[in-house]
Amino acid sequence: MKNLIQSLTLLLSVFLTQIVNSQSWDYNGNPSTGQYIGTNSAQPFPIYTDGDERMRVDADGNVGIGTTSPLNLLDLNSSSASNVFQRFSNSVTGDYYNQGFEVGIDNTGNAILRQNYSSGNMLFTLGTSSRGIRISNGFPSGYVGIGDLDYFTSQSLLHLHRETYTVYSQITSTVTGYASTDGLRIGVNPDIAWAYDPIAEIRQQENTAMTLFTNSAERIRIMHTGALNNGVAFDLAGVANNLTRIGISHNPSTPVTRPLSLLHLGYNTANATTNDGWRSWMDVGIFASQSSDNVYLGMKPEETGSDAVLSWGDNSYTDASGPDNFRVIFTNPYNASTPGLYASGVNGLEAMRMTPTLTTVNTGIGGDPTSNQYYGGSTNPTTTLEVNSWGATNVAGGSSGLRFTNLNSSSPKIANPGTGILTVDAEGDVIYVPCCSSGSVSVCGSPTSGFIPKWCGSGSDVTNSIIYDDSTKVGIGTSAPANTLEINQGAFGNSGLRFTQLTSSATPASNPGSGLLAVDSTGDVIYVAANNAPSIGNYCGNTPSPLANNFEIPLNDFNYYFTGQGTNPDSNFIGSSVAIGLPCGDPIPLAKLHVLQSASNPNEDSTSAAGIFENDATGSVTVGVFGTS
């Protein structure tokens, strides 16, 4: 018994000594400071529950949960295919399993940042500033905002916003470089001129094209002339190298990669060297091309400005597939089966066609849609202007399709080279009237050769007019003109000329000569010079215009009368009188015939008489005047 008590005393002493000499951690905490749980050597500190290690702090200070070899300050691992999350929550978010903010990976290996709080956003910010990224968790959910987060709420799936600064998103690569002037930029630029209304921009900052695709195929290409070569033969022909070019492709399998004008539609030109019908002045306009055919609508620079131009290009005239035409076609919305409405058909109604030749362009107007359409394999116009008035009538003498109104022209008339004539009917339409090349009957329908035909007034019949033309001389009223123009009035006793309503506000032009027009013995109107014709005098008070030579009045068995009676003979004013030798106007004639003969010698006794009668048969002479009161 004594030995047993001694042994227990020894064991208790040893146990108490161990308690006094070792560090311990009480259930309710230790009262002193500087105490810790861990190791004092380079050994990991594992934590166990239920006999299994749950967490470990290795010798480097890395904390591992679910792993005995943590590689980071905090390393979480699951030995099975399960979710591994770290969750943060507070009294606002709640601390239930599906609340708060979670960071981890799911059971498929996806890395996840999860905001479970329905009223909270997810923010990525720098320092204490509000600039960063926000993913909205409200309505609408999932919108991402980048920029000054305190100043906006995301309104789109991706929303960029900055206060007072230019905002761009930029895409670059190793090829483009990553400077601010490289790659593609999309954003808004508050240009000074638009400070309160920034400009939206899509910037291709590289020296190449920008393309728009749909269905994985190119539809639109935007570029500049300096990038047109791109390894393709192309003659810039003096075009500046920084002009805008836009190509819209018809078939994306062969897109417009070389837009030649400001807007180029369809396809590249077939020949990349000659560019078919394209010219360097086809700059500001629309150019449409398909194979070697093209059309341009736009401006053509000239010395005094620019003209509006509509131009079309074609195969070579000698090409088996050419020439191609320029056509004007009208279509209406009616069904193709509508009778009589040719514009409702699949081809529409062609109004005009222009066909190129080696040297000219022929124009056809009014193709017949029933039999002579200007399309397909039909006959193209073969002269400068061809008019087909198919819609008027199909009988001779029908309308030509031309109508002239307000015909005022000083242009000379050109003779018709054919055997018929064009004339204007009662409707004002220009119609063709056939004529014959021979014949002598001048009844309606049978005009005589050489006579200018005239319309009879009904149907298409014509007859002779009074005008005859033998190609060198014209006769009016005669078929045998002896001069360039001869007028034969026949038995009417006058010249056949009459001028009426000869009034004019224009100042008459003086005759540059000093003669006059007269009719000679053959009936020709001739010019008579001043030394062969008298002046017909002038009113009293004007500068005298004396006779230039002796003047003869052949009476030819006719009388020469001075008609009229005096108005007041009792007052010594004898009107309608003849004065010979008196000054003009003063003194007035004192008789019906007043003769004044002044002799140079008052003593001269030579005969001075107012009248001398000489008998040509007997030679006798009588001097004096016979009169009755």
pLDDT band at residue 224 using 50, 70 and 90 as cut-offs? confident
Q: How far apart are CA 222 and CA 245, in angstroms?
A: 6
- What percentage of the chain carries pLDDT values higher than 70? 60
Greater confidence (21 vs 156) lies with 156
Would the pLDDT of 311 be above 80?
Answer: yes
> 310: closest CA among 365, 354, 259, 266?
354
User: For residue 373, what are its two tokens?
Assistant: 């359409």
Would the pLDDT of 305 be above 50?
Answer: yes
Can you give the pLDDT at residue 288?
Answer: 95
Kindly state the DSSP code that residue 372 receives in the 8-state scheme.
B
- Lowest mean pLDDT, pick from 225-234, 285-294, 577-586: 225-234
* For the chain, domain boundaries: 122-161, 164-205, 207-313, 326-391, 402-406+414-492, 514-558, 561-629
Can you give the pLDDT at residue 202?
Answer: 92
The three-class DSSP label of residue 569 is helix
* Per-residue pLDDT tens digits for 500-515: 654 444 444 455 455 5
User: For residue 240, what are its two tokens?
Assistant: 């500046």
Q: Is residue 480 a contact partner of residue 489, using CB atoms and an 8 Å limit? A: no
Q: Per residue, what are the HEC states of 478-515?
A: CCCCCCCEEECCHHHCCCCCCCCCCCCCCCCCCCCCCC
Q: Look up tokens 């960071």; give the residue.
A: 103
Residue 2, H or E segment: helix 2-21
Rg of the Cα atoms in the chain: 59
* Per-residue pLDDT tens digits for 509-555: 455 455 566 666 666 666 665 544 444 455 565 555 555 566 677 77
278 — phi, psi (to 5°)? -70, 145
User: For residue 223, what are its two tokens?
Assistant: 């570029």
Q: Look up tokens 């091309």; give the residue.
A: 289
7 — phi, psi (to 5°)? -65, -45
* Per-residue pLDDT tens digits for 182-198: 999 999 887 665 556 77
Greater confidence (465 vs 148) lies with 148
Q: Look up tokens 């013995």; give the residue.
A: 521
Bridge-based pairing of strands 63-65 and 74-76 is parallel
153 — phi, psi (to 5°)? -115, 130
* Per-residue pLDDT tens digits for 322-334: 778 888 888 887 6
Q: How far apart are CA 355 and CA 382, in angstroms?
A: 8
Q: How far apart are CA 170 and CA 185, in angstroms?
A: 4
Q: How far apart are CA 366 and CA 400, in angstroms?
A: 11
20 — phi, psi (to 5°)? -70, -35
Kindly state the DSSP code that residue 292 receives in the 8-state scheme.
T
User: Per-residue pLDDT averaged across 133-137, rounded?
Assistant: 89
- Lowest mean pLDDT, pick from 158-162, 315-319, 370-374: 370-374
Would the pLDDT of 441 be above 50?
Answer: no
Q: Is residue 400 a contact partner of residue 428, using CB atoms and an 8 Å limit? A: no
CA torsion, points 97, 95, 74, 136, in degrees to nearest 10? Answer: 90
Q: How far apart are CA 78 and CA 58, in angstroms?
A: 18
For the residues of 445-476, what is the DSSP string, one character each? T-PPTTEEEEE-SSTT-EEEEEEEE-SS-EEE
State the pTM of this model: 0.57
Would the pLDDT of 56 be above 70?
Answer: yes
User: Per-residue pLDDT averaged across 398-418, rounded?
Assistant: 54
Burial class (CB in 10 A: 0-12, 13-18, 19+), 467: middle
Q: Look up tokens 């204007």; give the residue.
A: 424
Can you give the pLDDT at residue 421?
Answer: 62
Would the pLDDT of 67 be above 80?
Answer: yes
* Per-residue pLDDT tens digits for 71-128: 999 999 988 889 999 999 999 988 888 889 999 999 999 999 988 888 888 899 988 8
User: For residue 242, what are its two tokens?
Assistant: 């920084």
The three-class DSSP label of residue 40 is coil
User: For residue 486, what are its two tokens?
Assistant: 């001869």
354 CA to centre of own chain = 19
User: For residue 556, what are its two tokens?
Assistant: 């030819």
> 415: closest CA among 450, 375, 383?
450
Greater confidence (481 vs 572) lies with 481
- What percentage of the chain carries pLDDT values higher than 90? 24
Can you give the pLDDT at residue 508?
Answer: 46
Kindly state the DSSP code that residue 416 receives in the 8-state scheme.
P
User: Per-residue pLDDT averaged across 435-439, rounded?
Assistant: 43
Q: Look up tokens 């090829």; give the residue.
A: 175
User: For residue 66, what are its two tokens?
Assistant: 């679910």
- Lowest mean pLDDT, pick from 166-175, 229-238, 451-460, 593-602: 229-238
Categorise residue 619: left if φ over 0, alpha if ψ from -120 to 50, beta otherwise: left
CA-to-CA dists, residue 175 to 171, 182, 271, 312, angstroms? 11, 9, 32, 41
Beta strands in 120-254 (DSSP E): 122-125, 131-135, 144-148, 158-161, 167-171, 184-189, 199-204, 210-214, 217-224, 244-249
Q: How far apart are CA 174 and CA 311, in angstroms?
A: 45
Residue 11, H or E segment: helix 2-21
- Rounded to 5 degrees, what angle do the CA atoms 562, 566, 570 make? 150
Q: How far apart are CA 313 and CA 472, in angstroms?
A: 47
Greater confidence (185 vs 447) lies with 185
- Give Cβ neighbours of residue 220 (< 8 Å, ≥ 6 apart): 211, 212, 246, 247, 248, 249
Q: How many CB atoms lie within 10 A of CB 568?
A: 9
Q: Cis before residue 417, ω within 30 degrees of 0?
A: no
For the residues of 14-26, what is the DSSP string, one character each? HHHHHHHHS----
